[in-house]
Every structure is written in structure tokens, then in C-alpha cells.
Amino acid sequence: MPPVSAPALTPPIVVPAPSVLQRFDCAGPRYTSYPTADRFVDAFTAEDYAQTLEQRGSTGASARALSLYVHIPFCESLCYYCACNKIVTRHKSKGREYLDYLAREIALQVERLGRGAVVRQLHLGGGTPTFLDDAGLRTLMGMLRESFTLSPDGEHSIEIDPRTVDRERLVTLAALGFNRLSFGVQDFDPDVQKAVHRIQPAGQVFDLMATARGLGFDSVNVDLIYGLPRQSAASFDRTLAQVCALRPDRIALYAYAHLPERFKAQRRIATEALPDAAAKVEMLSRSIAAFTEAGYVYIGMDHFALPGDALAVAKRQGRLHRNFQGYSTQPDCDLVALGVSAIGRVGATYSQNAKTLEEYYDLLDQGRLPVVRGLALTRDDVLRRTVIMAIMCQGRVDFETIGSAHLVDFERCFAAELEALAPLVAQGLVVVGDRHLEVTPLGWFFVRAIAMVFDRYLQADRNRTRFSRIV
């Protein structure tokens, strides 16, 4: 992405009124990529991906650091709200078998990519990565270190179900080189936890946080979800107060998307127990106010961070980036993805592995990379990705900078989009000048709506029900 002018200071937080939040209660992409994953096609094959890896390995691109994502799909119990690609089982042998197949995939990737590529960002997601026991995690990290060079000053993060770890496991994670943790909390209210089949006492999370602090982890994130069954604005206020007292370095606040026709687990949630749209908007508004009052910086979309956290520093300095794991402090770089359903980005391509364990294993048994779909970006895709990511990450688009980098006349190329921004300008969400556009402090809360204006695929296809709500 071309450099953009960075604001000297983080803009002041402006808490949007519930009426404004309500106005933008619509569906839209999260823009962890552009084009978005729903645009991937089967015509992009494992052979296309292999060629992309080989090109990277044989050119100067191989000297650039990588991001690495590993998907661990297993969970010991089912959370009814979950829309992730997961496999519910208590059989630990499943994890050991999975690691054997991961080793095969790593070998196939490294064969084309080259051994020893530097990794500055490693993320283990799922499912529940801590489904793997200590021996399994050691095996996995050993495999990765044998094939890649994990930068000693890189970000090494792992998602954690607090019910699956204790002090000893956190000690193991620190010893293995993890320096960032993400705790899945969702809600501290016992009635809500019962309704979504995820019981975890608040005291357990507080104890784990204290342990993590003592062990010196660089950053701890907490995930929350609003809009769950049996939630109310009053009950969620109590959770917000507990989270502020917990004081994690980062907070991710997601809106629950109830799509039982797509996600079987959600059929166990009684629709009548869900808060209505007005209640969800009120929860969001109160959350923003609570976190702001507690001293958190609003990063963008649904992320908050303490002022000293690397994510908040990156936003202040205009160094924020975005990938399939969300906002990142790392430079815009290739992402190699490992495991069932994992999505990666190398060069001007996206790729996704087989979504079922059976197909993933079958392809690896055949000695083939498990990629089943993806996308080779067009020149227009690359241009629009640059614009959308500048909006999502820096909140500013410099017309001349992007025009020069992509050899286009920005104003002429995007004349229709700049005109379509007029209603958002009138609502105080974005400012459009002669040479740039800039997201306002209020507009940051609706940055997805601003980015959507530049999404050619979305403008051609008004069926947005497959996306999550903007607020």
C-alpha cells in the first residue's frame, strides 16, 4: 500500500448517538480482505497457488517477512453462537492426527516457498488452539521453527478458551514463545452464559489475567459479543464494568449475527430470547461510552486498545494494517495460512484450504496442497484494495499518492464513488477535499459504510445478507 499522510494524534473520541447507530444498522463486509472471501472462485486451484509460492520464493519478495496463520479447528464443547469452522470433540487423538497432516502441508508449502522464511507475525486461531495439549503445542511450534524463522521480536499470538487453560498452561505458552493472548469471554452474565452453552466464572478469567500479567505477556485481548440471548443493556453494563476492571490491553467487541440457516449450532438459540435491534444499538452505544471513559482508544470497527498498546501506537503513527485476523501492527505482507479452511494471501492472490477435515486430509494423502478456491486479483481489484485499506486503517486517502502508485487519475477513476459519498459527507462521517478524503472521528464508527462505497462487487450485487451488521 502506498504511504499515506498520518495524523499526528489520535482523533478525539466522539460517542455516536443511538439514533445515528440505528441509521447504520445494516449488513456489510468486514474488509479483512478485498475482494472479500465470498468472491473467491473454484477456478483458482492448488496449482495456481503453488505457482504463486514458487514465484515468491524465486524473486526478491522472498526476503520480505511473512505472517503465518494456523487454524486449529477442535473444541471440547459447542458454543451455540459460534460461526467458526470447528469440530466438537473430546478425543485428544484427533489433535495428534491433525498435527501429522499439518506437517505434510507445511512440507508442501516450504517445498515451493523455500525453507527459513522470516515470520514476523504468528497467529493460532480456531476452533480452540488450546484444545492441543502441551505436548501437541510443543510439536506444532517445533514444526514451525524447523521450517520458518520466527523473528525474536515478532508478534506470536494465540486464541484461548479460558476454560481450557490454567497457570501451568500459560507458563508453557510463554516458554513456547507466545507473547500475546486473546481470551474469549463474550459475556460474564451467568444467564447469558447458560443460554449460549459457555459457562466460565468471571473469577477464572480474572485469575488468568493476573497470571498473564505476572508472566510478562506483551498484550492480552478480550473478546466480547453483544446481541446474545438473554442479554439486556443493564446486564451488559455489568459485564462492561467487569471488563474495565479486568483492564485488558485490547478489547474486541462483536455484534452477534443470528444466521441459523447457515450455522447449525445457532439453531439451539431461541429467537425470542434475543435482544431486539434497539437494545443492541443501546448496548453498543453504552459500550463505546464505557470503554472511552475507561481510557481506551477506539482503533476502528469493533476494536479498542489502551493508549500504550502497540495497536493504539500504530494507529497514532499511521501504521495500522488489516488482514484476515483483523487489525494488525505489522507491515502489509504476505500471509501463509495452514490448516483446514485457512485463508491466506500471497502476492496479488488469495487462497483458501478445504473446509472439511475429510477433504483436507484426502488432498494431503494425495500429496497435493489442500487449496480448493481463491482469487487472482485484477488491476482494478488491487487499486480498490489500496483505497479500501487506506480508509479502514488510516482513515485517509491521498488522491495523488494512490493515483501515482497505480497510474490512474484518481478523481476521474472514482468520480461516481466520490459523488456517492455525498450523503456520508452531509452526515459528518467523512470530509472530501480537492486532494484527499478523510474519515471524521464520528465516521470511524461507520468506517465500513465509507469503504463500501468503493467496493465494485458490492455495488453490483445488493444481496448483503451474507455479511455481518455494521453496528
DSSP state string for 237-279: HHHHHHHHHH--SEEEEEE----TTT-GGGGGS-GGGS--HHH
Q: With contact defined as beta carbons under 8 Å apart, do 91 and 328 qualify?
A: no
Q: Where are the domains of the chain?
A: 1-35+378-471, 36-336
The letter for the amino acid at 316 is: R
Question: Where on the phi/psi map is residue 455: left (φ > 0), alpha (ψ -120 to 50), or beta?
Answer: beta
For residue 300, the model assigns a pLDDT of 83
Question: What pLDDT is attached to residue 32?
Answer: 86
| pLDDT confidence of residue 13 | 56
pLDDT digits (tens, 9 = 90+) for 317-349: 888 888 888 888 877 789 999 999 999 999 999
- The answer to whether 322 touches 392, Cβ cutoff 8 Å, is yes
What's the CATH number for 36-336?
3.80.30.20
CB contact at 8 A, 43 and 436: no
**Beta-strand pair 250-255/303-305:** antiparallel
Q: 344 pairs with which residues across the strands?
A: 351
| Residue 441 phi, psi dihedral angles, 5° rounding | -55, -40
Instruction: Determine the pLDDT at residue 328.
Output: 86
pLDDT digits (tens, 9 = 90+) for 388-413: 999 999 999 999 999 999 999 999 99
pLDDT at 36: 92
Residue type, 376: A
Beta-carbon contacts of 74 under 8 Å, excluding residues fewer than 6 positions away, are 86, 87, 88, 89, 94, 95, 98, 126, 127, 128, 131, 132
What residue ranges of the chain have pLDDT lower than 50? 1-11
Residue 450 is inside which H or E element, if any? helix 447-452
- Pairing between β-strand 326-328 and β-strand 321-323 as defined by DSSP bridges: antiparallel
The secondary element (H helix, E strand) that includes residue 436 is: strand 436-439
Q: Rounded to whole angstroms, how far apart are CA atoms 115 and 106?
A: 10
Class of domain 1-35+378-471: mainly alpha
Residue 138 to residue 160: CA distance in whole angstroms: 16
pLDDT at site 60? 63
